[in-house]
Amino acid sequence: MAWRFKASKYKNAAPIVPKPEACIRDISVGSYQTYGNNIAASAAFMAFNVDHNGSSLAVLPIDDCGRKSKTMPLLHAHTDTVTDMDFSPFHDGLLATGSQDCLVKLWHIPEGGLQESLSNPQCVFSHKQRRVEAVRFHPTADCLLSSTSYTTLTLWDVAAQKEIFSNCQHSEVIQSLSWKTDGRLLVTSCKDKKLRVYDPRATTSITHTTDSHQSIKDSRVVWLGDSNRILTTGFDAGRLRQVYIRDLRKFSEPEKSLELDSSTGILMPLFDPDTNMLFLAGKGDITIMYMEVLDREPFLVEGIRHSGEQTKGACLVPKRALAVMQAEVNRLLQLTSSSVIPIMYQVPRKSYRDFHSDLFPDTAGCNSPMSASQWSVGNDTAVPRISLDPNKKQASMPRLGPKPFTPPKLNFGANSGAIESDGGIVNSDEALAQRNSPEGAPDSALSWYSNGGTEHANGSEKNGKADLHSLNDELNDSPPLSGSSSPEKPKTPSTSERRKVFESRVSSTESQQNVEVITSAVDGVLLDEGKADFDRNSAQRSSIAERRRLYESRSMSIQDSGANKAKTPSPTPLRRKDSLKKVNVEEEVRKPAPAVQRQMSHEPTKSAKLEPAVTPTPKRTSTVFGRVSKFRHLKGNPGHKSTHIENIRNISRQISGECDGFHANRERVAVPLSGPGGRIAVLELSRAGKLPDGVIPALVHGANVMDFVWDPFNCSRLAVACDDGTLKLWLIKPGGLTEPTNTPEAQWTAHSEKIYFIKFHPTAKDVLASSSYDMTIRIWDLQTQTEKITLLGHTDTIFCMAWSPCGAYCATVCKDFKIRVYEPRASAQPVREGKGPAGSRGARIVWALDGNYIVVMGFDKVSERQISVYKSHALNVPMNTIGLDVSPSILIPFYDEDSSTLFVTGRGDSTLYAFEVSEEAPFLCPLSHHRAASLHQGLSFLPKNCCDVASVEFAKALRLTNNSIEPLSFTVPRIKLDLFQDDLFPATKVTWEPSVSANEWFSGAQHPVKRISLRPPGMDSLSDSQGAAEVISTIAPTPSSKGGNVNNANNNANNANSKGGWNDDLSGSKRRTEQIQQAMSNRVEMNMKLEQDDMEGVDEKEWDE
């Protein structure tokens, strides 16, 4: 019994919580009803659920810390909640995920982490109609994955993409799964309150079965290393939390039973087989228990508990990533609602200078001894163990990519595109298309495996995009441009050299020739002097710290090249990392001509010559995601009460969800009224004030009104759709309605079912589109009242349709969760399709940025209102999605093309949300939202020619409340109101005049929309008023302008002022500041004399003594 008096080495292991700066903060983690731990870690990365629904994962470096932006790159893994995830023990960048969408997916994480959001998996397996509950990699065999779904346990050979084992002998949902460390057996816990031990290679796969915890609530199981003992956590019949230890040799009775408390959160057991340390973290608990597992009584010895934040999930970090020189014997990652906290368990020692080998026994290495096929035929080779001594560590750790393998043969016969495999594997484009899933397996041969035996997987190009590769890949793969081919002496590039290489890549969007000229000198030096120094398997880059430093050096912000040409006293807007990405040729073609391109408030300045900045400029604090927006501080100003129309009675609130409910033009408004007959009141804006009591003059339709809209080219014509399938055109006489009328100008039966909505064409006169319950969209010629085009392809209710700015395309969002783009004059079927909002309440759609992007407003599955941005030519995955709030009202949008501002609000709301739509991440930049004093029933924006540009009014709307209509003006704060702010008001489209007739448009004609300047007569422009002398006084000469060309300096200064958006009035502000200082100095007596000036000091000779 002497062992009782022998102290354990890990008895005093204490949890050490880092400071908040060393944690990952400002993340959003929801409450997920899953059997997983919600977080997983390898020696290089960590992955965890984010957002409210948990369908996306954040994947970060294992040593990452600090605040995280809401726009950080994510792994858009599944269409539903990710239930479980696991990293491969042999490849730190290989991640498996399971989800409620019944799919298991494998992902390759690039070595530097996610530089952009990832949505294309490397491999997809399907569990048919049941959600996936657990995924686990095999501990000894490479590329062998196990997963559970309902009552089915499945083993997959990832390399061959086939199922090698399946068992359906469970009677209820499998809740947990764990492998024995030697990889021979596995154990499952089930909702039927039983434990089962499996030998998948035996004839009778189930070797042991016994009753477990007597509650149907969640239970977990973990195999205690390579011993014969199994530990489970669960609840008893009285809902007390329990911990059981069982021995296979006496499996029916627990060897140890420990009852804890009556908390409702399941205990997640985390076991380290090297040290026998067990951690019990309960979901929803603030306490994490530490116990040491013994092989004899008392079996469980409790250590120091940790109390902190409420736990959402937890996992252990592999031993290869521990700080062994600090006696860190284990590290636990605690996932909370807003952070990831790395908790270090440290054994106190007198000195941490030396490696304490007694604390760190040899652990399992990262080299697999066998493949999945070898294991399946009976091989049981143990994983070679490695020492954690830094002096003995292999140079190849951590492994960031899989080792090579022989891919399966492709079938290029009649069914080319599918791999010859079985077992319900989804690996062909056709099968994925049938599932309507945009996240198919793009490469059936698993091209993310590396070539030539290297340990890095070059999978950064598998998303179909040109990613931002690491500097070392570029230096290794690109030939020397200087002509030299033999390296003389290895050399690590300096920070300035790295910066030059990255800056040279900025200009790649302008001219490839310029890039070659600029980078030739730098690349030649680097390649000639030190190409061998960047080998990914070199010993100089073996530690995680070195890898992380290199990753951080690559992630440095690069300032706008335009700012490098001029030295200004004000800070320069910084360019986002995403702007370094190569621009696709297709995107370049789609960009409009510079003459008509919208002046974006954060437009980056491009230059063919890249020169370093004269002085480093600090990042400006008033930025929107790192970029300054001119419209960020927009202000909503309600009109004076004298401009209101009041005493509007019986406003209808029973209109359909597809109708916006309120429409206005520059002369009059249309308001639906409650009551029978489908009445619409038409009010003149010129007659502001209180309406007289009595009957309000209205248009009477005799049927319920479904939608109505004003003709954009005729302020007197109103189109109305009714639930009896008829369309009616009304012509309002000059002076407005004087009495109710039921005689329209024209009417006809447009559909056999009731109509959803109607939309006028934005450029063609007398062209109207209507949608009905028959799931078609019909385009009409109003001159002849005939149907010209019918659009097909919808399978459910059409929520909304929007014409593109050019009028050649239209986009729809449907209840079948799809977005469709049509080219009506070319085809009746959609030319592009993509996945839309997941909610079925309703949605809206609008085009943005000259038709290059589409913005969709909708709901998710939990009725949260969301805004998603898509590229119009790539609708599979949104570029960004922003969640607003949970509300039943549908967001109704208005998009201002000149300012690229998106306004959204819903009926019954009091807040008008404003966003700037951008061509670069995060694509939706929040601006100042406007909160009204009361709830509104509708909002309608007026054309651009109604804005008072002299007051810097860039948008004007009319707001319908419960009983009144009030104008709402949106302005931008500016100082020089006597000047025309031409940086805010580019030449605008004449949307109030048609560019083509109906006959011309239906025949295929397409004329560009005319543009005009909004500058009032006699008003000077802001850019013209900035004199050369004032600009020169604030701009220092740059190296590129040496030679004394003053005009060049003026041009650079004007460009900076016109594009920056934040230093337009810099000269005037500086001059006023100097005037104030001069006035103060004239009024206040300045006494510069000091008190010690009147004192007598010692003699000068005394200083020499």
* Separation of alpha carbons 402 and 455, rounded Å: 6
Residue 1010 inside a domain? The answer is no
Beta strand pairing status for 370-371 and 141-142? Answer: parallel
Rounded CA separation 478/490 (Å): 17
Q: Are residues 481 and 335 in the same domain?
A: no
Maximum pairwise Cα distance, the chain: 116
Task: Using the structure block, give the residue that is written with the tokens 């560009």.
Answer: 1008
For position 14, what pLDDT does the model report?
93
Euclidean distance between CA atoms 1072 and 801, whole angstroms: 52
At 945, the amino acid letter reads N
Neighbours of 736 (CB within 10 A): 16
* Domain presence at residue 220: yes
* H helix intervals, 507-643: 512-530, 544-554, 585-590
pLDDT surpasses 50 at 445: no
| pLDDT tens-digit map of 365-410 | 988 889 999 999 988 899 999 999 988 865 445 555 544 343 443 3
- Stretch 901-924: mean pLDDT: 90
Question: In 3D, which of 184, 206, 180 has the Cα closest to residue 195?
Answer: 206
| Alpha helices (runs of H) in 27-115, residue ranges in sequence order | none
Please state whether beta strands 300-302 and 287-293 pair in parallel, antiparallel, or not at all (unpaired).
antiparallel
Last residue of a domain, one of 989, 1024, 1046: 989
- Do 799 and 674 lie in one domain? The reply is yes
pLDDT of residue 780: 93
> What pLDDT score was predicted for residue 351?
87
More confident residue, 491 or 392: 392
Give dist(CA 906, CA 891) in Å, integer.
Answer: 5
Would the pLDDT of 562 be above 90?
Answer: no
Q: Is the pLDDT of residue 723 over 80?
A: yes
In this structure, how many other beta carbons lie within 10 angstroms of the beta carbon of residue 1019? 12
Give the torsion sign (CA, 1074, 1076, 1082, 1087). negative
Model pLDDT, residue 852: 93
| C-alpha radius of gyration, the chain, whole number | 34
Q: Cβ-count burial of 412 within 10 angstroms (0-12 exposed, 13-18 middle, 19+ buried)?
A: exposed
Torsion of CA 273, 276, 277, 278, to 10 degrees: 80
- What is the bridge-based pairing of β-strands 786-791 and 277-282? unpaired
Give the per-residue pLDDT at 350. Answer: 86
* β partners of residue 423: none
Task: Write the CB contacts of 64 (distance below 8 Å, at least 6 apart in sequence).
Answer: 24, 46
**pLDDT on residue 966:** 93
577-623 pLDDT, tens digit each: 443 333 343 444 444 443 344 444 444 433 333 333 333 433 333 33
- As given in the structure block, the two tokens for residue 768 are 């109207």
Distance in angstroms (rounded) separating the CA atoms of residues 873 and 853? 8
Q: Could you tell me if 377 and 495 lie in one domain?
A: no
3-state secondary structure of 957: strand
Q: Residue 310: inside a domain, yes or no?
A: yes
The one-letter amino acid code at 423 reads G
Rounded mean pLDDT, 33-52: 92
Which burial class, exposed, middle or buried, applies to 774 when counting CB atoms under 10 A from its CB (0-12, 13-18, 19+)?
middle
> CA dihedral defined by 481, 486, 488, 490, rounded to 10 degrees?
70
Task: Decide if pLDDT at 16 tops 90.
Answer: yes
For the segment 917-938, what is each residue's pLDDT rounded down to a tens digit?
998 888 999 898 898 888 888 9
pLDDT in tens, 267-313: 999 999 999 999 999 998 999 999 999 988 889 999 999 999 999 99
Q: Is the pLDDT of residue 1073 over 70?
A: yes
Looking up residue 773, the CATH number of its domain turns out to be: 2.130.10.10
* Local confidence band at 88 (pLDDT 50, 70, 90 cut-offs): very high
- The answer to whether residues 379 and 503 belong to one domain is no
CA distance 933 to 939: 14
Contact 163/127 with Cβ under 8 angstroms? no
CB 796 within 8 A of CB 815: yes
964-989: pLDDT as tens digits: 999 999 999 887 788 888 888 888 99
Q: Is the pLDDT of residue 530 over 60?
A: no
Are residues 148 and 280 located together in one domain of the fold? yes
Q: Would you say residue 499 has pLDDT above 70?
A: no
Segment 796-822, tens digit of pLDDT: 999 999 999 999 999 999 999 999 999
Asked if 934 and 911 touch (Cβ cutoff 8 Å), the reply is: no
pLDDT at residue 1087, rounded to an integer? 67
Sole residue written with tokens 């998303």: 463
The distance from CA 602 to its chain's CA centroid, rounded to whole angstroms, is: 20
1020-1026 contact pairs (CB < 8 A, 24+): 1020/978, 1020/979, 1020/980, 1021/979, 1021/980, 1021/982, 1022/976, 1022/979, 1022/980, 1022/981, 1022/982, 1022/983, 1022/1064, 1023/982, 1023/983, 1023/1054, 1023/1057, 1023/1058, 1025/976, 1025/979, 1026/1054, 1026/1057, 1026/1064, 1026/1067
What's residue 229's pLDDT?
93
Cα–Cα distance, 730 to 743 (Å, whole number): 8
3-state secondary structure of 507: helix
- The torsion defined by the Cα of 278, 282, 285 and 290, in degrees rounded to 10, comes to -10
532 secondary structure, DSSP code: G
Residue 778 pLDDT: 94
C-alpha torsion sign, points 419, 423, 429, 434: positive
pLDDT in tens, 301-352: 999 999 999 999 999 999 999 999 999 999 999 999 999 999 999 999 888 8
**Residue 676 half-sphere exposure toward CB, CA atoms < 13 A:** 0
Q: Is 585 helix (H, G, I), strand (E, B) or coil?
A: helix
pLDDT reported for residue 658: 87
At residue 735 the predicted structure's pLDDT band, cuts being 50, 70 and 90, is: confident
Decide if 491 contacts 534 (C-beta within 8 A). no
In a domain, residue 44? The reply is yes
Distance CA 438, CA 433 (A): 8
Instruction: Tell whether 614 is covered by a domain.
Output: no
* Triad 1028, 1030, 1035: Cα angle to 5°: 90
Domain presence at residue 414: no
- Structural domain count, the chain: 3
pLDDT of residue 446: 46
Higher per-residue pLDDT: 629 or 294: 294
Q: Looking at 364, 386, 408, which one is the last position of a domain? A: 386
Residue 1011 has pLDDT above 70, yes or no: yes
- Among 243-257, 592-606, 720-734, the range scoring the smallest mean pLDDT is 592-606
Statement: residue 1000 has pLDDT above 60 = yes
Query: Which of 73, 142, 179 lies closest to 401 in space, CA to CA?
Result: 142
φ, ψ at 255 (rounded to 5°): -75, -30
Q: What is the model's pLDDT at position 1103?
A: 67
pLDDT of res. 942: 92
Q: pLDDT at residue 537 above 50?
A: no
* pTM summary value: 0.46
Surface-to-core class of residue 4, CB atoms within 10 Å of its CB (0-12 exposed, 13-18 middle, 19+ buried): exposed
CA 808, CA 804: separation in Å to the nearest integer? Answer: 7
Q: Is residue 708 within 8 Å of residue 670, measured between CB atoms? A: yes
Tokens linked to 285: 């608990």
Q: How confident is the model at residue 1035 (pLDDT cuts 50, 70, 90)?
A: very low
Q: Is the model more confident about 838 or about 1097?
A: 838
Tokens of 1067: 């000269």
Q: 841 pLDDT band (50/70/90 cuts)? A: confident
| Residues written for the chain | 1105
How far is the C-alpha of 632 from the C-alpha of 623, rounded, in Å? 9
Separation of alpha carbons 134 and 84, rounded Å: 5
| Of residues 936, 983, 974, the one with CA closest to residue 957 | 936
Rounded Cα distance between 837 and 818, Å, is 8
Q: What is the rounded average pLDDT of the residues 616-632? A: 51
- The reported pLDDT for the residue numbered 753 is 86
Structure tokens at 160: 């061959």
Return the residue matching tokens 């605008």. 988
Q: What are phi and psi of 577, to 5 degrees?
A: -60, -35
Nearest-angstrom CA–CA distance, 535 and 459: 17
233: pLDDT strictly greater than 90: yes
Please report the pLDDT score of residue 1015 as a whole number.
86
The angle subtended at Cα 230 by Cα 228 and Cα 235, nearest 5°, is 160
Once rounded to an integer, what is the mean pLDDT over residues 561-587?
Answer: 39
295: nearest Cα among 330, 261, 249: 249
Statement: residue 521 has pLDDT above 70: no
E strand or H helix at 97: strand 94-99
Q: Quick one: 87 and 217 in the same domain?
A: yes
Residue 1025, SS3? helix
Mean pLDDT within 1039-1050: 39
Write down the pLDDT at residue 618: 38
Q: Note whether residue 1011 is domain-resident.
A: no
Predicted local confidence at residue 808, as pLDDT = 93
What are 923's two structure tokens?
A: 């694509």
**Domain-terminating residue out of 964, 989, 1014:** 989
* Judgement on whether residues 502 and 364 belong to the same structural domain of the protein: no
Q: What is the pLDDT of residues 119-143, one digit of tens each?
A: 889 999 988 878 999 999 999 999 9
Other C-beta atoms closer than 10 Å to the C-beta of 424 total 16
First to last CA, the chain: 81
489 pLDDT exceeds 60?
no
- pLDDT value, residue 31: 86
Cβ(1021)–Cβ(980) below 8 Å: yes
Q: Where are the alpha helices (DSSP H) in 555-680?
A: 585-590
For β-strands 94-99 and 818-822, DSSP reports them as: unpaired
Tell me the residue range of the domain where 776 lies: 645-989
Q: Are 915 and 925 in contact (CB under 8 A)?
A: yes
Share of the chain above pLDDT 70, in %: 72
In a domain, 634, yes or no: no
Predicted pLDDT at 630: 83
Asked whether the beta carbons of 1011 and 988 are under 8 A apart, the reply is: yes
**Average model confidence (pLDDT) across the chain:** 77
